[in-house]
Amino acid sequence: MMVAAFRDRASRRADALIDDPFAGSVCEAEGYAVADAITGYWPSCELYVALRTAYLDAQIAKWTAAGRVGQVVLLGAGLDMRAWRLPEGARVPFFEVDAPASQAYKRERVATLQLPTDRPGPTYVSCDFERDDFLDRLQARGFDRSVPALFVWEGVTMYLSEGAIDGTLTRVARDTDSRSLMCFDFVGKRMASGDRLRRHNVESRELVDGLDEPMVWGTNDILPHLHGAGFRFTRVVSFDQLALYFTGSYQRDREFRFQSMALAGVDPPELV
Ligand SMILES: C[S@@+](CC[C@H](N)C(=O)[O-])C[C@H]1O[C@@H](n2cnc3c(N)ncnc32)[C@H](O)[C@@H]1O
């Protein structure tokens, strides 16, 4: 809900980088309250959420338009409304994989909305990344392993064990079409461990931990994980680079050095 609240606010700005007209309807007051609290510690959190959503929206547009992928999978979808709000939602199948409780809440909220009629909406797949095989579950719900897919893993890796991270990356690299792509954000080791952070970083981390979804995983070098999983094409950008690209500005005090975005594939894409 906190992420949806930030997406709602980010969408309403005059200089908006994203447009999520549903975010405010799927999220309750509690989401805005947590967003307010975290903004007190980290004023750039709204921009951080907007940047990762803008970048991932652009990846979906780019790789579907290029014909590189024919399916989109949102891993740990939360209150993500891409299947309804992006034009690609009317063109290619979308799948939402999420923990059963998060998904049940999302489905309740979505059932109250007026939604576009030009698309079927996402196929829901419930799964715990720590215990279940997400790919078997996707296949059981109609995911076609012979069609390249874009896997979007937004705001999730920091809450999972290293085993679940490596297992998920490996399943995508080895067991889906070799033209599939995987795009996700991750945090640095110090942010995840809470080690040697400045006071306000510790406080904002503790606030997230208190939401029953503690931050547990981060890395300063994602390459060994991507290589180990079987990927060959990799690109990593920092959130400072994303901010510079999308806003034309750089401010060190945004504290974006703890976060990065990775794009990986087995077959190197034609368009780089
Ligand atoms: C911070 S939310 C991000 C949601 C969404 N991707 C977004 O950006 O709005 C984290 C998501 O990860 C999911 N998640 C966390 N641990 C999980 C697990 N072990 N298995 C499946 N999903 C998990 C939660 O259910 C939640 O939807």
Domain count, the chain: 1
Residue 80 forms part of a structural domain: yes
Q: What is the pLDDT of residues 183-223, one digit of tens each?
A: 999 999 988 877 766 767 777 777 777 777 788 899 999 99
Give residue 82 CA to ligand 1 midpoint distance, Å: 15
What pLDDT, in 10s, does the model give residues 214-248? 888 999 999 999 999 999 999 999 999 999 999 99
Ligand 1 center to residue 27 CA distance, Å? 15
Give the ligand 1 atom nearest the CA of 2: 1
Whether residue 272 lies inside any domain: the answer is: no
Domain range holding 99? 2-265
- Distance from the alpha carbon of residue 158 to the mean position of ligand 1, in angstroms: 10
Supply the residue whose CA is at minimum distance from atom 20 of ligand 1: 128
The reply to whether 162 falls in a domain is: yes
Q: Is residue 270 part of a domain?
A: no
Q: Which helix (H) or strand (E) holds 187?
A: strand 181-187
State the CATH number of the domain containing residue 227: 3.40.50.150
Ligand 1 atom at minimal distance to the Cα of residue 80: 9
Distance 76 CA to ligand 1 centre (A): 4
Q: Indicate the average pLDDT of the chain.
A: 94
Closest residue by Cα to residue 233 from 184, 162, 181: 181
Q: Is 82 among the domain residues?
A: yes
Ligand 1: list residues with CB < 6 Å.
3, 76-80, 98-99, 102, 127-130, 154-156, 159-160
Residue 271 inside a domain? The answer is no
- Specify the residue with its C-alpha closest to ligand 1, atom 4: 78
Q: Are 107 and 134 in contact (CB under 8 A)?
A: no
Q: For 51-98, what is each residue's pLDDT tens digit? A: 999 999 999 999 999 999 999 999 999 999 999 999 999 999 999 999
- Written as one string, the DSSP assignment of 119-161 is S--PEEEE--TTTS-HHHHHHHTT--TTS-EEEEE-S-GGGS-
Residue 125 lies in a domain: yes
Residue 39 maps to a domain: yes
Q: Of ligand 1's atoms, which has the minimum distance to the CA of residue 154?
A: 6
Distance of CA 85 to the CA centre of its chain: 15
